[in-house]
Amino acid sequence: MGVPNAFYAQSGGVTAVINATACGVIETARNHRHRIGTVYAGRNGIIGALTEELIDTSKESAKTIAGLRSTPSGAFGSCRYKLQSFTENEREFRRLIDVFRAHNIGYFFYNGGGDSQDTAHKVSQVGGTLDYPIICIGIPKTVDNDLPFTDTCPGFGSVAKYVAISIKEAALDVASMCESSTKVFILEVMGRHAGWIAAAAGLAQDKPGDPPHIILLPEVPFNRRLFLNKVRDTVKKCGYCVIVASEGTQYKNGSFVAHSGSKDGSVDAFGHTQLGGVAPTLASMIKVKLGYKYHWAVADYLQRSARHIASATDVEQAYAVGRAAVEFALAGKNAVMPTIVRKKDKPYRWTIGEVPLARVANVERKMPKSYISADGFGITAKARRYLAPLIVGESPPPFRDGLPQYTILKNQLVAKKLKPFRL
Amino acid sequence: MGVPNAFYAQSGGVTAVINATACGVIETARNHRHRIGTVYAGRNGIIGALTEELIDTSKESAKTIAGLRSTPSGAFGSCRYKLQSFTENEREFRRLIDVFRAHNIGYFFYNGGGDSQDTAHKVSQVGGTLDYPIICIGIPKTVDNDLPFTDTCPGFGSVAKYVAISIKEAALDVASMCESSTKVFILEVMGRHAGWIAAAAGLAQDKPGDPPHIILLPEVPFNRRLFLNKVRDTVKKCGYCVIVASEGTQYKNGSFVAHSGSKDGSVDAFGHTQLGGVAPTLASMIKVKLGYKYHWAVADYLQRSARHIASATDVEQAYAVGRAAVEFALAGKNAVMPTIVRKKDKPYRWTIGEVPLARVANVERKMPKSYISADGFGITAKARRYLAPLIVGESPPPFRDGLPQYTILKNQLVAKKLKPFRL
């Protein structure tokens, strides 16, 4: 058999730093060549394992792999593809094990959010069921920051920094225009069920009353009357009003504010509704009821791919969980996920911990009530204490001719050994 | 009378670097205290001159004024307020001269786009008519890059850099998701009648065929069939399609594509239609006709306030036109605007030139045909040669705790000497 190889894959929505995790995995594995052979990366996540499209990362130079640390998005391709349970789709699991066996894969590293940790957990169980020994380590990643047990999720700190900086800058813009032009600015940010990203915009406030004046979180039922009153009062007091809205902002009955807008409401492979459009919906509400001139922005992918303004803390943590995943595997741990453990708020001190995948899978962490201000339109000092360290430090990529130099891999596939598999 | 004072005001949509121009004006004036007394800044642009709300910039320390160089948006407030002609509204011009006389203002520096250069020109003429000697210098500023005679307009280089970087990053995101999720990404950018900003996104391409695959310019009539064909062909060839659309993208008959979307179509004080919403409109067109999963972003104010990623070249030019404006005034020039004169493309060499305001006012520079690719969906090598140097260099603001430290002025008003004036 020889030294077992490793399989690494990126899953779900990508981030500004998921490649920093890949860098941590590959560099660490390369430091242990006597125990880990080649790191194969799944082309487009777990789909690559099923279709036997395995990228041979050994074809990439040390310099190229190092470049992943400052390159956003998923260098090997990601996917939205959720494995069913073994009883529901035994065929898929048998195929996975066939591919692992054919390529002597002894380690499975799966880098993603809650759904992906569920996949990693299932694979670890099936290894036992089908009598193929494989070590499965989940690696946390999600801009939504909604994984439990870890202090934060790599990817979140950078989007938090992007949103806080963007709203600070846009607020200065509105403040300077409000006398004779725009009075209301709305920025729509990601966050389906958890308001972590919108909450991070609150870091832009240097003192109480600073913009953003209103933060809309999915955790707080949207009340149109209270919202419009707050907008009107803020414009009267400050001359303008800056709003940050989670895409998942919803009414008490659970229907999304965005759905009264222009989006199609389609559903992705994980069963999540495709959101977006809360900003224009709020804008027209304000226009009709209050008559203010408005501008709105939807950051969408820009927020989660903005490696140019990534948080240095986030980059470091993303690398650290990748390195820890390999170290865990080498230490014989299985079916676990490395976590970030906070030791101290200020200065921020953290270390790496671990949690069994069985406890992580499909658990969604919402914002605690204690992080949300009494009126529901802002964050508390406690939230600020939690969020502040996550955006600290800059980690600019190399620039040439005014543009970031991002790393593009060769992504050379290993020769297939098995028959084709239909997804 | 003593040494005459100066009036400086910011007008129209603000930029990431208009305060760098203010910094250039104030620092240069301070170096010539024997010829220029105090620089008064208009609170909210020309409105501040009419209402006699004059900010005393001498109350700000040298360090604070220096901080303006790295602070986005209009530190004194801007406005959308266009002076009518002298015959249409003699009352306003008489008021302006009254305020100038009351505060011994001998220099008028007006920092803005085409409409503002028109205002500066009118003031210079009225000074003669009403026998009040005043030196009027227009200072160029506009993210739209549509002022004639100058190689570029301060503010444009930074938004160009923001858009090129953002689309480069978002394209990596879509590329990694397209196998099983999003296939089309649309970024809507500013540009009412000129496509300069959208064109700059083309700088993200390292080689032909790289994203953005489609750039929609107001200069090229939008053809729905050709557009949808190009989207489909691109997805078939590349697996995904990245689109940058000017807000002013329009059909052959001049109607805006955005107007079929969700925006209100309101009109601002300059008679410009308030745009936005072309991205969601295109997205639903694609969804209905081609069925692809899409994401869209609207950068809006984020693009023009993004001082964190400003072009160092742009910052330098913004400062230089401010400095030149004061130097022109001191050299006895009148009714002129400093321009950027390109000496060489690569490496970029430029110097300061000048143009009479009479020739600038209300002339809009569109993209030359030679900058637009044959199929109308991209830019040419010539456009690239023009645009490339404008985004070169980074000029990050100071950061603390992960956030840029932007300068907030005291903005202390001078005591009024005249009766109130109703706008």
Percent of chain A with pLDDT over 70: 96
Give the residue from A195, A113, A46, A136 showing the smallest Cα distance to A362. Answer: A113
Preferred mutation among A257, A300, A303 to probe B, highest tally of B CBs within 10 A: A300
Chain A residues with beta carbon closer than 8 angstroms to that of B295: 276, 300-301
Any domain includes A385: no
For residue B414, tell me if it sits in a domain: no
Residue among A190, A203, A294 nearest A242 (CA)? A294
State residue B84's pLDDT score.
87
> Per-residue pLDDT for B265 more than 60?
no
Yes or no: say if B414 and B56 are a contact pair by the CB < 8 Å rule.
Answer: yes
Peptide bond into A420 cis (omega under 30): no
Question: Which 3 state secondary structure label does DSSP give B399?
Answer: strand
Which has the minimum average pLDDT: A50-54, A83-87, A99-103, B160-164? A83-87
Residue B273 in this model has a pLDDT that exceeds 90: no
Is B176 close to A304, i.e. CB distance below 8 A? no
pLDDT tens, B79-130?
998 888 889 999 999 999 999 999 999 999 999 999 899 999 999 999 888 8
Contacts of B172 in chain A (CB under 8 A): 71-73, 305, 406
Question: Which 213-242 residues of chain B touch chain A by CB within 8 A?
Answer: none
Mean pLDDT of the A281-289 span: 91
Residue keyed to tokens 């301060």: B154
Instruction: Count chain A–chain B contacts defined by CB atoms under 8 A.
Output: 235
Q: For residue B151, tell me if it sits in a domain.
A: no
pLDDT tens sequence across B369-397: 999 999 999 999 999 999 999 999 999 99
Mean pLDDT taken over chain A: 94
Which pLDDT score is estimated for A259? 65
Q: Which residues pair with A354 in a beta bridge?
A: A338
B positions 174-213 inside 8 Å of A (CB): 174-177, 179-181, 185, 187, 203-204
Q: What is the CATH number of the domain that holds A188?
A: 3.40.50.460
Query: Residue A263 pLDDT > 90, yes or no?
Result: no
* pLDDT for the residue B260: 54
Bridging pattern class, strands B214-216 and B135-140: unpaired
Contacts of A168 in chain B (CB under 8 A): 403-404, 406
pLDDT over threshold 90, residue B352: yes
The confidence band for B272, taking pLDDT boundaries of 50, 70 and 90, is: very low
Q: What is the mean pLDDT of residues A81-90?
A: 89
Interface contact A272, partner B, CB < 8 A:
no
> Do B301 and B315 lie in a common domain?
no
**Contact call for residues A91 and A246 (beta carbons, < 8 A):** no
Instruction: Please say which residue of B281, B306, B331 terminates a domain.
Output: B306
Specify the DSSP class assigned to residue A186.
E
Question: Beta strands A214-216 and A184-189: pairing type?
Answer: unpaired
What's phi and psi for B411, nearest 5 deg? 50, 55
Report whether A125 contacts A108 (CB < 8 A): no
Cα torsion at B210, B212, B214, B217 (round to 10°)? -130
Instruction: From chain B, pick out residues whose CB is under 8 angstroms from the CB of A293.
Output: 266, 268, 274
Q: What's the mean pLDDT when you consider all of chain B?
A: 94
Q: Which two tokens stand for residue B153?
A: 């307009």
Distance, CA of A313 to CA of A322 (rounded, Å) = 14
Q: Is residue A373 part of a domain?
A: no
What residue type is assigned to position A220 of the chain?
Answer: V
- Would residue B337 count as lying in a domain? yes
Check CB contact under 8 Å for A297 and B300: yes
Q: Are residues B242 and B323 in the same domain?
A: no
- Phi then psi for residue A347, to 5 deg, are -70, 150
Work out the end-to-end distance of chain B between its first and last CA atoms, rounded to an integer number of angstroms. Answer: 29
Asked if residue A187 and residue A290 are part of one domain, the reply reads yes
Please report which confidence band the pLDDT of residue A179 belongs to, taking 50, 70 and 90 as the band edges. Answer: very high
Question: How would you classify residue B174: left for phi > 0, otherwise alpha for psi between -120 and 50, otherwise beta?
Answer: alpha
Q: Domain check: are B229 and B250 in the same one?
A: yes
Q: How far apart are CA B15 and CA B19, in angstroms?
A: 8
- Neighbouring C-alpha atoms within 13 Å toward the C-beta of A63: 0
Beta-carbon separation of B302 and A187 below 8 A: yes
Residues of B in contact with A298 (CB under 8 A): 279, 296-298
Mean pLDDT within B247-267? 73
pLDDT average, residue stretch B6-17: 97
Nearest-angstrom CA–CA distance, A118 and A108:
13
- Nearest chain B Cα distance for residue A181, angstroms: 6
Residues of B in contact with A14 (CB under 8 A): 173, 176-177
Q: Return the pLDDT at B1.
A: 65
- Is there a contact between A262 and B264 if contact means CB atoms under 8 Å apart? no
- Residue B392 has its nearest CB partner, among A13, A76, A401, at A401
The answer on pLDDT for B193 being more than 90 is no
- Looking at the complex, does the CB of residue B77 fall below 8 Å from at least one CB of chain A? yes
Residue A180 distance to chain B (closest CA, Å): 6
DSSP code at position B70: G
Model confidence over A293-334: pLDDT tens digits? 999 999 999 999 999 999 999 999 999 999 999 999 999 999
B215-230 mean pLDDT = 97
Q: Does residue B128 sit in the same domain as residue B187?
A: no
* Contacts for A116-120: CB closer than 8 Å, 24+ residues apart: A116/A11, A116/A12, A116/A141, A117/A147, A117/A337, A117/A357, A117/A360, A117/A361, A117/A362, A118/A82, A118/A83, A118/A361, A118/A362, A119/A11, A119/A46, A119/A82, A119/A83, A120/A335, A120/A337, A120/A357, A120/A361
Tokens 């913004």, located at residue: B318
Q: Which backbone phi and psi does A114 adopt, to 5 degrees?
A: -60, -45
Q: Which residue in B170, B304, B308 is closest to A165 by CB distance? A: B308
Tell me, yes or no, whether B384 lies in a domain: no
Domain of residue B264, residue span: 156-306
Q: What angle do CA A372, A198, A362 make, to 5 degrees?
A: 85
- A72 CB burial (10 A radius; 0-12, 13-18, 19+): buried
Please give the tally of structural domains in chain B.
Answer: 2
Q: Are residues A214 and A352 in the same domain?
A: no
CB contact under 8 A, B180 and A287: no
- For residue B105, the domain's CATH number is 3.40.50.450
User: Searching chain B, which residue's CA lies closest to the CA of residue A286?
Assistant: B264
Does one domain contain both A300 and A203?
yes
Q: Between the CA atoms of B164, B165, B166 and B171, what dihedral angle is there, to the nearest 10 degrees?
A: 90
* Residue whose tokens read 């302006």: B96
**Contact at 8 Å (CB) between B22 and B72?**
no
Whether cis (ω within 30° of 0) applies to the bond prior to A72 is no
Q: Which of A306, A332, A350 is the last residue of a domain?
A: A306
Strand partners, A198: none
Burial of A289 (0-12, 13-18, 19+ CB in 10 A): middle
Instruction: Name the residue of chain B whose CA is nearest to A160's CA.
Output: B402
Whether a cis peptide bond, with omega within 30° of 0, leads into B347 is: yes
* SS3 call for B111: strand
- DSSP run (H or E) holding A244: strand A241-246
pLDDT at residue B270, rounded to an integer: 47
Instruction: Count the alpha carbons within 13 Å of B17 in the hemisphere toward its beta carbon.
Output: 35
> Where does the pLDDT of residue A264 fall: very low under 50, low under 70, confident under 90, or very high at 90 and above?
very low
Q: Which of A179, A187, A391 sits opposite B402 (nearest CB)?
A: A391
Indicate whether B164 and B300 sit together in one domain.
yes
Helix axes B156-177, B312-330, angle to 10 degrees: 170
Residue A335 lies in a domain: yes
Smallest Cα distance from A226 to chain B, Å: 23
Amino acid in position B254? G
Catalytic: B144?
yes
Residues A256 and A338 in one domain: no
Is residue B100 included in any domain, yes or no? yes
**Claim to verify: residue B137 and residue B250 sit in the same structural domain:** no
Smallest Cβ distance to B300: which of A79, A296, A307?
A: A296
Residue B362's pLDDT is what?
Answer: 76
pLDDT of B259 reads 65
Same domain, B198 and B69: no
Task: Dig out the tokens for A93 from the structure.
Answer: 């699991």
Determine which of A85-94, B261-270, B345-354 has the lowest per-residue pLDDT on average. B261-270
Q: Min CA distance, B26 vs chain A (Å)?
A: 19
Would strands B54-56 and B39-42 be described as parallel, antiparallel, or unpaired?
antiparallel
Q: Are residues A319 and A302 in the same domain?
A: no
Residue ranges of E strands in A271-397: 294-298, 336-344, 349-356
Res A267 pLDDT > 60 = no
Q: Is the pLDDT of residue B247 over 60?
A: yes
Residues of B in contact with A406 (CB under 8 A): 168-169, 172
Q: Say yes or no: B402 contacts chain A, CB-CB below 8 A.
A: yes
B172 and A204: CB-CB below 8 Å?
Answer: no
A70 vs B260, higher pLDDT: A70
The domain boundary, picked from A262, A288, A306, lies at A306
Angle at B269 between CA B96 and CA A172, to 5 degrees: 85
- A274 has pLDDT over 60: no
Q: Which of these is catalytic: B98, B115, B118, B144?
A: B144
Q: How far is A384 from chain B (nearest CA, A)?
A: 12
